[in-house]
Structure 1
Amino acid sequence: MLREQLFTYSHTFITLDQLESRSSTTSYLEFAKEIQQLENEGIIIRVASAGQNGKEPSLFYKYRIQKGKLRQELHQEIERTRLHLHSALQLDSYFHLSPKEWNEDLPYIEKISQYLQQNGFPEEEAPAPERSLELVGDEKWIQEKGGDKLLEHLQIWDELKIIPVHDPLSFALNPTVINKQHHYHLIVENKTTFDGLLSELIYTPFTTLIYGQGYKITKSIEHFSRQLPLSGHHTIYYFGDIDWEGIKIWHLLSEKIEVIPAIPFYEAALTKQAIPMKKKQNPNQEANKAFFAYLNEKIEAKMLEILKNNQYLPQEVLSSKELREIWRDSDWNTPLSQS
């Protein structure tokens, strides 16, 4: 335990009191033995000028941590482990992680290695719970217990042909444009907006109207090509609340697919009276930079003025009638024409 504490300690020197506060031992004698063991291994070096505490056995008031020695031990253990694992498992990322992460992941790594040595990589796709049960005997491990990150560390996620299991994508389909080669799609964040636009869908060039359900869209969008296997080109627009969270949702989505802010809707919403935010939201600078790149200076300035005043504009500021008119009358063939 103390060894792991030292690994994550950010300073070079540590006092005896700090060491004792990080130790899990229950007596001074056990603690002293722990410190002496670390000294013998060269992991900590006493600072003689700091003096000793005078107890029996006596310990120094200050020590220097040999971070290189700590990391060297971890590296050696990883290299020893690598020798008996399946050759496809890449352990290099663990050289930069903590011993705690390595020790927590190791039992799963060994189970995965055993599975691959016995079965090889699968030839067919399988839902995440099914593959999770095969690999480690726990159907919830991949999606609910961090197994997905471990598989990415090992660089075998793609080879395992895992189908993430999320809520299906919720959308309405326009049958009048289903045979076209260029498909337009509109994702809206909230249910009220979805309902307000639904009756207008068949009068637009859009193939689908998609209900984003807030942050859920960042997962359900993974089903897009499976639920809507249409050939041709796809242009996807997004319209969310004008607040920091709405921008974050768009940004997370944009990291998975190419998605364009539906500027005519945002521009119309900005003509309405903003309201105070119900709870504190924190801006994400990376998300903001990416989002505002689609806006002209006038729209960006107005939006920032509202958000920096701790106000926002929910999608509901636009009536169903206004939503339908904007959707029907805007030029969606040139997506950046509004900026």
Structure 2
Amino acid sequence: MKQVYDVLKSYKKQTLSLGTLETLLTPFVDSYESFSKMVLELESREVLLPIKSKGRTSRQLSLALGYRLNRQRLNDTVIDTLQHYRRMFHPAINLDDYYTKSKQVFEQDLEALIKIDQYLQTHGFPDSDQSSPEVSFLLMRDEKWLDEQGGRELLKRVRLYDQFNIRSVADPLSMAINPHQLTTSVHRHLIVENKATFHSLLPALVETNFSTLIYGQGKAILSSVSLFDDQFPVSGKHQFYYFGDIDREGIYIWHLLNQKRDMTLAVPFYQACLEKAQAKGKTHHQVREQALTDFLQVFDETSQHQIAAALNSRYYYPQEILTTEELQTIWRESRWDSLT
């Protein structure tokens, strides 16, 4: 491509016809198809700007009948620079993506690329999985580089991200512990989807026979639940209960979570919600029939019809429909052992 750029730089006029362009590029292509692909590539790089008034060919690879040369783009090319660093860098570093970008983009990334190259030349790729903070520190001496400073995108740009075997790190569980229940043989854990419900229930935790109250934080619980055993290393039997919004998203979260740990629906809370007036629902939630089917089978037939009818009519029951007093009373007074 460097030779193509050199030919275009030497062309004295500002505009050129498709025929002239074909003459100039003939030494670098072996067919009209390869010529067309090269011209379209130069278009995408904004080296060639189509003159709209001239129109385009009717072929499958449609080319403009006239082009204007973007000399700023021509002179801004990083080809020479990239070829220099391609020879110098570790062979795993793929610089192809920079050929379609301005010189400024490469210059902004260069300092980080040099550090990555120095690490690979000295150590090669890690033998085991590493967390993103670990990889960030290895490469940049800055544990936040990958997740907060664009490092993840840079590694993907140069085709290195998968080769570092970066292990995803779940956020810690947001969990409150009941000190009165730590020595029991059975530990009950209530997971609630939303923050407001967590705070409403929190004062009543010590008055229940539950060992923990966990804030699910929507879908975040799907990854953070993997840390439960590390964050609550208490021996005994563990029983999980889940309470979320009665909408398609809340039901789907429970469905996915139930595949990771046995997750009993906290039915007393749900039944109390069904006694309230439903709210106008969210229309963007996807329908997941298996999740809904699994959810409904826990309830009696009347409740099943009520839930299905509400969801089909774009209504739902949010957790917040219950007052703090109602939530706490239900938690304290329900017979939770009868649900498992």
Q: Same fold (TM over 0.5)?
A: yes
Does 1:294 find its partner at 2:291? no
Cα separation, partners in 2 of 1:121 and 1:114, compared to 1, 3 Å? same
Cα 1:328/1:224, change in 2 over 3 Å: same
Which residues in structure 2 correspond to 1:162-241 (within 5 Å)?
163-164=169-170, 166=171, 168-218=172-222, 220-241=224-245
Q: Where does residue 19 of structure 1 map in the other structure?
A: none
Alignment TM-score, normalising by the size of structure 2: 0.57
| Cα distance in 2 between the residues matched to 1:320 and 1:173 | 19
Letter in 1 for 2:60: Y
Report Cα offsets for 1:263-321 as digits up to 9, x if no partner.
332222112111223xx4322234x5225413227334322211222222121222334
TM-score of the pair, normalised by structure 1:
0.58
CA shift for structure 1 position 187: 1.2
SS state at 1:273 partner: coil
CA 1:182 to 1:163, structure 2 compared with 1: closer, same or farther past 3 Å?
A: same
Call closer, same or farther: CA 1:276–1:112 in 2, change over 3 Å: same
Contact 2:129 2:164 in 1 (8 A): no
Per the alignment, do residues 60 and 121 of structure 1 end up closer, same or farther by CA in structure 2, a change over 3 Å counting? Answer: closer
| Contact 2:133/2:144 (<8 A) preserved | yes
Counterpart amino acid of residue 291 in structure 2: A
Greater radius of gyration (CA): 2
Q: For the Cα contact (< 8 Å) 2:219–2:253, is it kept in 1? A: yes
Asked if the contact 2:125–2:163 (Cα under 8 Å) also holds between the matched residues in 1, the reply is no
1:63 aligns with 2:65: no
| Percent of residue pairs identical | 37
- Whether the aligned pair in 1 keeps the contact of 2:222 and 2:253 (CA below 8 Å) is yes
Mark the runs of 5 or more structure 2 residues left unpaired by the alignment: 2-13, 38-55, 63-89, 102-109
Superposition pairs of residues 79-158 of structure 1, within 5 angstroms: 84-85=91-92, 115=119, 118-119=122-123, 128-135=132-139, 139-144=143-148, 145=150, 147=152, 153-154=162-163, 156-158=165-167
- Cα distance in 1, alignment partners of residues 261 and 29 from structure 2: 51
CA distance in 2, matches of 1:109, 1:64: 36
> CA 1:320–1:40 in 2, change beyond 3 Å: closer, same or farther?
same
With 305-314 and 322-331 compared, the bigger mean Cα shift is at: 322-331
Superposed CA offset, 1:184-222 (max 9, x none) = 211112333223323432343321011234444445445
Query: How far, CA to CA, are the matches of 2:151 and 2:256 in structure 1?
Result: 19
- Matched to 2:228, the amino acid is F
Structure 1 vs Structure 2 CA RMSD: 4.9
| Alpha-carbon spacing, 1:216–1:303, altered in 2? closer, same or farther (3 Å) | same
| Cα distance between partner residues in 1 of 2:128 and 2:141 | 19
Residue 156 of structure 1 aligns to which amino acid in structure 2? N
CA distance in structure 2 between the partners assigned to 1:231 and 1:109 by the alignment? 48
Q: Which runs of 5+ in 1 are unaligned?
A: 2-25, 47-58, 66-82, 92-98
* Aligned-partner Cα distance in 1 for 2:119–2:229: 30
Matched, 1:40 2:31: yes
| Structure-2 change in CA distance of 1:303 and 1:119 (3 Å) | same
Q: 1:120 to 1:62 in 2, by over 3 A?
A: closer
Amino acid at match of 1:62: R
Alignment partner of 1:229: what SS? coil
In structure 2, the CA distance between the partners of 1:295 and 1:116, relative to structure 1 (3 Å rule), is farther
In 1, Cα distance between equivalents of 2:113 and 2:338? 50
Q: State the distance in 2 between where 1:261 and 1:109 align.
A: 50
CA distance in 1 between counterparts of 2:123 and 2:183 reads 43
Contact kept? 2:251, 2:291, Cα under 8 Å: no
Shift of the alpha carbon at 1:182?
3.5
Secondary structure at the residue paired with 2:238? Answer: strand
- Which residue identity lines up with residue 165 of structure 2 in the other structure? I
The answer to whether the 8 A contact 1:244-1:281 is kept is no
When residues 217 and 281 of structure 1 are mapped into structure 2, their CA distance, relative to the original with a 3 A threshold, is farther
Counterparts of 2:141 and 2:332, CA distance in 1: 52
